[in-house]
Amino acid sequence: MLVSSVAGIGGSSDSSNNSSPSESVKRSYPVSYVRSAAVNPATLAVVFSVTNDGTQPITPSCTIRMQDAGGTYKGYDIFDITDAIAPSQTKQVIVNLTITKEGADFANQFSGECSATTTDKGTNAGQEVVISDIQNFSATEGSEGWYWGASFKANQKPMTQMDCVVKALDKNGKVVAETSYRANTLNDGTVIGYGSDAQSIVDSTKKIVISIESFDVKCTL
């Protein structure tokens, strides 16, 4: 079994939400499927992410499963993530699963659980981050089609995930367009859309694009 961390996302912690050592509990953490690929007929490499939505570092234990719809081809693994995941950090992990009956090409349904014993009962979820360097990233005349978007930075560590709402405003401060999406940060703090369905750049019309004068941006962990 191969386990390796391939990405990390950092955030801040709030020790005021921590409970006393006598109140340790088993806490579950959000797990998401990212992608998978057959290494050979019997082995499936699976990439998934686990998010520490608490306020203390964790080293969770995980159970990851893949199978086809009928359950003919399936495999699972149970393991510990030994590199601590910081508060508000999402870490991508790779695990190789042995799939029964050499059905790695057919196992396409994911399920996973990660948990850790902790005294932490707090969360940074919903905490607003500081946004800066907002710039207009919309298309102008002469480009291919019309779309709008904003480029900006957040005061978070590289690869920090967050939920962002971006509103485009005209010269009177009226909202002329709005989008929301899951995002993360690059090494310099620039925020980009996270996932193939992130609507950080939105198809639009010439009328809307040329009317945009400023942006209202809000992102929360």
In the chain, alpha helices (H) = 206-211
pLDDT given for residue 158 in this prediction? 83
> What are the strands of the beta sheet with 31-40, ordered from one edge?
3-7, 90-98, 43-51, 31-40
pLDDT given for residue 87 in this prediction? 85
Q: How far apart are CA 126 and CA 160, in angstroms?
A: 13
Mean pLDDT score, 69-94: 93
Residue 141 banded pLDDT, cuts 50, 70, 90: low
Contact between 97 and 39 (Cβ < 8 Å) = no
Phi, psi (5° rounding) for residue 21? -60, -25
The model's pLDDT over 40-55, given as tens digits with 9 standing for 90+, comes to: 999 999 999 998 989 9
Which amino acid appears at position 78 of this protein?
I
Global pTM reads 0.67
Phi, psi (5° rounding) for residue 158? -55, 140
Lowest mean pLDDT among 6-10, 39-43, 104-108, 183-187: 6-10
The model's pLDDT over 151-171, given as tens digits with 9 standing for 90+, comes to: 999 998 887 889 999 999 999
What is the DSSP secondary structure assignment for residue 107, as one 8-state letter?
-
What is the DSSP secondary structure assignment for residue 22, as one 8-state letter?
G
